[in-house]
Amino acid sequence: MNKANVIQELKALASEGMPEEPEVAAVAEEAAPEAEEGGKAKKAAPPEPRKNGLLEVDYARRGVHVDVQVAADQVVRAAEIVDAAGMTLEAVTGVDWINDKELEVVYDYAYTGGECFRVVVRARIPRDEANIPTITEVFAGANWHERETFDFFGINFEGHPQLEYLLLPEDCDFHPLLKDFKGC
Amino acid sequence: MAGYFTNILSGTKSLLVGLSITQKEFFKKPVTLQYPWESLEMTPRYRGHIQLIKDPETGSHKCISCGMCQRGCPSNCITIHSEKQEGVKGKVLVKYELDFTKCSLCGQCIENCKPSAIEFSKEYNLASTRKEDFHYDLLKRLKEQK
Amino acid sequence: MSSQALSQNNERFEVNLGPQHPATHGVLRVKLLMDGEYIVDAEPVLGYIHRMHELMGENRTWAQFLPNMGRLDYLSALSYNLGYVELVEKMAGIEVPERAEYIRVITTEMNRISSHLLWFGAFVLDLGGFTPLLYAFTDREEILDLLESVTGARLTYCYYRFGGCYNDVEDEFLSGCLAFIKRLRARMPMYHNLVTKNVILRQRLERVGPVSAEMCRKYGATGPVLRGSGVNYDVRKNEPYSIYPELDFDVPVYHEGDSMARYMVRMDEIEQCMRIIEQAIAKIPSGPVMAEKVPKMIKPEPGDYYHAVEAARGTFSIRAVSDGKNQAYRMKLRSPTFSNLSLFQEASKGMLLADALALMGSLDLVIPEIDR
Amino acid sequence: MDLGINVIEMLLYLVAIIGFAAINAAYLVWVERKGAGHIQRRTGPKEVGPYGLLQPLADGAKLMSKQLIIPAGVDKPLFMVAPLLAMVPAVMIFVTIPFSENLVARDINIGLLVIFAFASVNVLSLLMGGWASRNKYAVISAARAVSQNVAYEIPLLVMTITIVLVSGSLNLREIVFSQAGAFWHWNWLPTNGNFLGPITFIMFFICYLAETNRAPFDLGEAESELIAGFHTEYGSMGFGLFFMGEYANIVIGSALIVILFLGGWYSPFPEVVPFLGSAGVWWFLLKMYLLIWLVVLIRWTFPRVTLWSLLNLSWKILIPFSLFNLLASAGLVKFLG
């Protein structure tokens, strides 16, 4: 597996949506770790939601090597890139950024064939229209992970072969990990 | 064809070896403990439900009712009732409620306790059909121990 | 009856394997579509003991979430404890004293042996052999006694703390571990003679339930399942944490990908665990078991944190999102058997019922960890 | 007058046989549990009576006092008859078994045929029980039991024919008489024209394990696959009868092996050895119980085979071997005897 290749391809993919300023991604690459870690300083003004792009983050501190944010319709292509590199899917999950009125879908990829390499791909979708294409075509194991994410966040994975409740009872009508969930 | 016969032979041998092992074990002494008649001594670190430590000097507990155990508890199973009493500095513990049905024996209350007033007990013979039986008042329990 | 009703499909019937069934070791339900004894489709149905640990993680402080780790995989709870405390230490930048690291490794590996021993017994029980289960339990019981003398619990441990361990271990524990290893070493040939070499067991496991490395990759299977398919991947080696880089051990890998390979990986892993423990006991330094500066209230800097450890069943990883408060904003627990089981539906197609159950046993399922 | 004595004799025999079968079946359960306990380093039953000896009685009382539940939707007549069919033929077979030279209820010329005729009813009871339960696991189990019994009855009978050839009789007493003497005269060794004696003996033993649905061939009640198999839906004494029938069949099988291969009531020592050398019923029972112990030991040692390897064993190993064995023995009997 060629790490640099994967990084290059993911970078290209992430910047596809915003071709007008390709330097931004490069700038974010250096500035973002500090920006993230120095979150306290900016407490007064909540930080802007992150722009799409690729960050190479500090592995020792964060536990991942590469952090890519892509547009929702690019997750399948991102999955294809890491699949071609022989990586495996560890998990799919979501995060509810209720203040930004957005949901984030997070894909964790890892390389199991040798030296450790972890890539996290994330995509943000609006909360009230939570649709994102499924990656089950690429990684069959995403099936259950996506169903679980649907359980907890109500995210609709378009094209999923069997988007039913997996862990929650089949007749429940709530999504417990949404931040506005108030118990049932 | 030779493989056919050697397979049968080696297979039969493995079965006989297995039989001899179980037959040998048959003559060994049982390792189980006949519970109601015999029972084990709990190790010093065994975690039973918490209890108040009796202070050998005063014959009472060391709790200062600060409520750190209650705040640190992940399962909200500790409730402390204390009151101001005349002539005594600070608050006085009147009731130490422990709902053992919710306790996960993590030990955070004991770690949080500044005056080291609580410890794990060695109680393990606990069984009941009613969950109210596991709502303890540790202060009462301490007094009954006297 | 029309001729259509007499067609082949009419022979198929559905069987509910579980939620209460001797082979599912808990409350897993598998919806089987059978054609005689052959499985046409097997769909696992999860969630019977779902407890929403991830939501609890968002509602409790970092320290308060610790006891939950013992309730995920009750058979190797210490690996999960380890994964979580290491994550929080990474977030808060806590340095752990060396002695504590050694104690953590010794107890985690003891726990891994106990987990593999129980799996061994339960697996042979699935195959119809009752006695090895109780032999394995006799050995496992000694591990539990040893761990109880240190942690105070027998199964749902809550022993590690951010920055160290709850208490120090005595020399009796260390010598007890060595004595146990000596005993288990002497017992291993007995297990191999009684079970591994048994012709009936070999017939039931060899070439049964093959799982290819590619299938493991697509489904994200890890741990002994992956190593039984010929992939040399162990988080302890590939992504070292704690003091594992200082210890010398091998990662057993088998290339057949059948149930026997997974069986052999676990049996060999027991031996490797013993090697690790011996080395760790020989090297253990003296000193404190708790870091001196552990903040009372842990408030990690905002952002994502990820940490993976090798649990007895595969890669257990946690993704925590912090927003700078003393509670997690999001706590994702990635449990290994969830992914391992997800390949069962594809892998079991066309298998005989008995073989499919052998395959399921060889995946080493712990349901509370799948359902979380 | 003769008729009256005959009837009384017959009744006495009947009572004795039912008693023998019931006590053996009940105490076999105790032996199995106690044996399993000690094999697994436990103690087994020990609370009811000394060494748990009254445990079978307690179990029986419990089973009999339980409510007989007939699930909705079962085929009621078949459901009720099946457990009886498991137990009654087992008792009937005891009628023909010679425990010693004179201790036999009915000395029938075609005793061997009678045994096999009744023994084959057993599979019918499993099939009926499984089918009538209207439970998918029970039906799978019944289907397994039938295919297993069909597959194993063939080598079993072929091997029996071999023994009949070398003994020259279908009468069980005659077969034992033909092995008179110390252990090297018995059929399990290459004597009496059957030069493949030991192999016949081992194969017969395997077939007998499979015929009685004992581990490692207990596919019908593979608990990790089929819960309890054909008796999943049975409780109370219905289950009790299946259970007793299974153990009675083990006793019968062991007795049959003792008769066919292990010289019946003859002592393994030559007659010149004082005391031990004399033949008698005790030798018969001793051999029988040793065999039963072997069966128990096997159950608690081996994992279960799968259906295909079970059938492979029968069709690929046992049937060719037994046919070859039969031909060879027939040739030897023809040319030497």
Total count of domains within chain A: 1
From the number of C-beta atoms within 10 Å of its C-beta (0-12, 13-18, 19+), residue D323 rates as middle
Q: Is the N-terminal amide bond of C19 cis, ω within 30° of 0?
A: yes
User: What is the rounded average pLDDT of the residues A87-111?
Assistant: 88
Q: What is the pLDDT of residue C180?
A: 92
Q: What is the pLDDT of residue A44?
A: 46
- pLDDT class for D70, splitting at 50, 70, 90? confident
Above pLDDT 70, what percent of chain A?
A: 80
Contacts of C200 in chain B (CB under 8 A): 15
Cβ within 8 Å, pair B74-C148: no
Task: Residue D316: count other Cβ atoms within 10 Å of its Cβ.
Answer: 12
**A93 lies in which domain range?**
3-25+48-135
From the number of C-beta atoms within 10 Å of its C-beta (0-12, 13-18, 19+), residue D192 rates as buried
Q: Is the ipTM of this complex over 0.90?
A: no
Distance CA C117, CA C111 (A): 10
Q: Looking at residue A19, which CATH number applies to its domain?
A: 3.30.460.80
Contact C319, C332 (CB under 8 A): yes
Q: What is the pLDDT of residue D106?
A: 73
Above pLDDT 90, what percent of chain D?
A: 0
Task: Residue D258: count other Cβ atoms within 10 Å of its Cβ.
Answer: 25
Residue range C8-371, CATH number = 1.10.645.10
Q: What is the pTM of this model?
A: 0.87
Q: Which of C124, C134, C203 sits opposite D305 (nearest CB)?
A: C203
Q: Which of D140, D301, D304 sits opposite C127 (nearest CB)?
A: D304
pLDDT tens figures, D182-237? 777 777 777 666 667 788 888 888 888 888 888 788 887 777 778 777 888 888 88
Q: What is the pLDDT of residue C163?
A: 85
User: What is the rounded average pLDDT of the residues A9-26?
Assistant: 61
pLDDT tens figures, B33-55? 888 888 888 888 888 888 888 87
* Mean pLDDT estimate for chain D: 83
In angstroms, what CA-CA distances link C341 with C23, C222, D303? 14, 11, 24
Residue type, C132: P
Res. D247: pLDDT tops 80? yes
Q: Which of A47-61, C152-166, D31-45 is least confident?
A: A47-61
Distance from CA of B40 to the nearest CA of D (A): 17
Res. A42: pLDDT tops 50? no
Cβ within 8 Å, pair C201-D224: no
- Residue spans per domain, chain D: 74-336
Assess C203–D contact: CB distance below 8 Å, yes or no. yes
Contacts of A90 in chain C (CB under 8 A): 220, 308, 315, 317, 334, 339
Assess B3–D contact: CB distance below 8 Å, yes or no. no
- The contacts found for A10-13 with CB under 8 angstroms, 24 or more apart, are A10/A54, A10/A66, A10/A68, A10/A70, A10/A78, A10/A81, A10/A82, A10/A119, A10/A121, A11/A53, A11/A54, A11/A68, A13/A68, A13/A70, A13/A74, A13/A77, A13/A78, A13/A81
Contacts of D40 in chain B (CB under 8 A): 25
Q: What is the pLDDT of residue C265?
A: 92
Residue range B50-145, CATH number = 3.30.70.3270
Q: Minimal CA–CA distance to A75: which of A129, A121, A128?
A: A121
Q: Which residues of chain B have pLDDT under 50?
A: none
User: What is the rounded average pLDDT of the residues D284-300?
Assistant: 89
Q: What is the pLDDT of residue D2?
A: 66
Output A49 or C296, whichever has higher pLDDT. C296
Q: Which of A99-113, C265-279, D177-191, D294-308 has the highest average model confidence (pLDDT)?
A: C265-279
Assess B18–C contact: CB distance below 8 Å, yes or no. yes
Q: pLDDT (tens digit, 0 to 9) for every residue of chain C, 372 residues total?
A: 334 444 455 678 888 887 877 777 778 888 888 887 888 888 888 888 888 888 888 888 888 888 888 888 888 889 999 999 989 888 888 888 888 889 999 999 999 999 999 999 989 988 888 888 899 999 999 999 899 888 888 888 888 888 888 888 888 889 999 999 999 999 999 899 888 888 888 888 888 888 888 888 888 888 899 998 888 888 888 888 888 888 888 889 998 888 899 999 999 999 999 999 999 999 888 888 888 887 778 888 888 888 989 888 888 999 988 888 888 888 888 889 898 888 888 888 888 888 888 888 888 888 888 888
- pLDDT class for D68, splitting at 50, 70, 90? confident
Cβ within 8 Å, pair C135-B25: yes
| Backbone phi, psi, residue B114, to 5° | -65, -50
Give residue ranges of D with CB < 8 Å to any C CB. Answer: 36, 39-42, 136-137, 140, 143-144, 215-216, 218, 222-225, 227, 300-309
Q: SS in 3 state form for chain A?
A: CCHHHHHHHHHHHHHHCCCCCHHHHHHHHHHHHHHHHHHHCCCCCCCCCCCCEEEECCHHHHCCCEEEEECHHHHHHHHHHHHHCCCEEEEEEEEEEHHHCEEEEEEEEECCCCCCCEEEEEEEEEHHHCEEECCCCCCCCHHHHHHHHHHHHCCEEECCCCCCCCCCCCCCCCCCCCCCCCCC
Distance CA C149, CA A77 (A): 53
Q: Which of C36, C128, C353 sits opposite D304 (nearest CB)?
A: C128
Q: What is the pLDDT of residue A35?
A: 42
Output D273 or C181, whichever has higher pLDDT. C181
Q: Which of C47, C304, C308 sits opposite A62 (nearest CB)?
A: C304
